[in-house]
Structure 1
Amino acid sequence: MEQPERRRPGRPSLSNEELLDKALDLFLDKGFSGTSIDAICASAGMAKRTVYARYGDKESLFKAALSRAIDEWIVSVESLRAQESDDFEASLMRIGEMLVKNVLGPAGLRLLRLTNAESVAMPEIAQENVRHGTEPTLHYLADLFRRRLGDEGGEFPQAEDAAQAFLNIVVGGPANNAAWGMRMEMASIEHHTRYCVRLFLHGLLDEAGPPAKSEAGQLRRVLRDAEERLSEARARIDEAARLVRD
């Protein structure tokens, strides 16, 4: 019998994840307008008809690649929750440091600059970034503030505002600096995070009124520490003034 002709083994087709990774590398390097479907196909070793069959056009491919990258980059709620301890201020310090370092890491900086550059022409990119990357963190922080600063029923009306303020004060500054190409040394980042967490926390306590019983002792210790630091600062100012007069 005549044997059927065997098909030559073809090049294995990339998975969707691999295709999106290849596309993202080019988008990050060249921007949306500077990246062609031809270049993506060449990088992925894939026929144009296959790419179009999967995603339809370059914009859909770009959004899919960006969405995947954001999902992989964001700090999970589980990771944030793992930073909690009985010490509320120390917990906020660790959470703040984790978020800031994530934004200023290589993946965070590349995504930040890409989304900022393309959001003018495609505002839905910024909206997607907020939905995927920011909203879960805001929900977690609001829940944290309700649990730690709420009344016996867990009510804390300022929870959402406090969550947004925390991100703006602690994370927003370094992120904005990075978006404008300003570099911060690690020591400066750590100092910024510690200072802003304390600034945020003590301002929040003034707004929250009497803290929950479980936090009262700890917060009194924090306030005493702040008062001692203020006294030291005043003593240094007085000493400096005396030296100037002399």
Structure 2
Amino acid sequence: MAEIEPAGMPKVKRKPGRPSLSNEELLDKALDLFLEKGFAGTSIDAICAAAGMAKRTVYSRYGDKEALFKAALSRAIDEWIVPIDRLREQEGEDFEASLMRIGEILVSNVLGPAGLRLLRLTNSESVTMPEISLENVRRGTEPTLQYLADLFRRRLGNNKGDFPEAENAAQAFLSIVVGGTASNAAWGMRMEMASVERHTRYCVRLFLHGLLAETAQPAESEAGQLHSLLRDAEDRLCEARARIEEATRLVRD
């Protein structure tokens, strides 16, 4: 027989169960598994076990595994994108120095944890799901290309802001400055930061001075030689800083 609680006695409240993970936490758990085992090798059961969540809860948020994968990938893109305002903040009077700073930010972004994770996921799954690469380009690459094209129009165009090759120049900048490093990283090549920075700076100069070669180049002057010396000194300082950071990381690890 069930016991009857005495009248007037307060009811004992049940302890709440384990709180459900937020969507962001669930997507992060799923993304880690997709990266480790691939889309085909990851099951909803494994994701639920990693997240400590019931299958019905996952299915109520996302209808199937593919929808969950694309949502997790969309979150990865959000974390990876460099805000255009941050790129604009790098602009200054010295156009070459501005492009150096922009290039370094974009390369560093590709080599960061979010960038590498996104590269590996899209490369491994884009054959069976080409739409994920298109989404990556639409949300991540296209805004950057539009910004660069606008920058080239403003800095290299005529007094009306016309620069017919602006879109091509923007694409070339990303391909030359960022593309090679991104490809190396996607193939698992480990690069020292000093080498990455030196390569980035070289590529920016190769791009810019190749672009400016279409116009008449001024004769080498004393001021030009001084600029070259300052540029070399800046390169050496940048390389020294990168080596110090690398040494500090090794000691810390």
- TM-score, length basis structure 1: 0.82
- SS state of the match for residue 213, structure 2? helix
Match of 1:37 in 2: 44
Separation in 2 of the partners of 1:205 and 1:85?
18
Q: Write the letter of the residue equivalent to 1:112.
A: L
Match of 1:190 in 2: 197
Question: Which deviates more from structure 2 when the two are superposed, residues 8-17 or residues 34-43?
Answer: 8-17
Alignment of 1:63-142 (within 5 A): 63-142=70-149
Residues 1:183 and 1:37: Cα distance change in structure 2 (over 3 Å): same
How far is 1:84 from its partner? 1.0
How far is 1:177 from its partner? 1.1
Aligned length: 220
Whether the aligned pair in 1 keeps the contact of 2:99 and 2:204 (CA below 8 Å) is: yes
How far is 1:66 from its partner? 0.7
Aligned-pair identity (%): 76
Question: Which deviates more from structure 2 when the two are superposed, residues 180-189 or residues 88-97?
Answer: 180-189
- SS state of the match for residue 144, structure 1? helix
Q: Provide Cα deviations, 1:190-235, integer angstroms capped at 9, x if missing partner.
A: 111111111100111234x47xxxxx99xx98x9459979xxxxxx
Match of 2:180 in 1: 173
- TM-score, length basis structure 2: 0.80
2:68 alignment partner, one of 61, 64, 67: 61
Whether the aligned pair in 1 keeps the contact of 2:149 and 2:167 (CA below 8 Å) is: yes
Query: Which is richer in helix?
Result: 1
1:48 alignment partner, one of 55, 68, 86: 55
How far is 1:4 from its partner? 7.2
Separation in 1 of the partners of 2:33 and 2:116?
15
Structure 1, gaps ≥5 residues long? 211-215, 230-246
Structure 2, gaps ≥5 residues long? 1-6, 230-253
Match of 1:18 in 2: 25
Q: How large is the RMSD of aligned CA atoms in angstroms?
A: 2.5
Separation in 2 of the partners of 1:137 and 1:31?
28
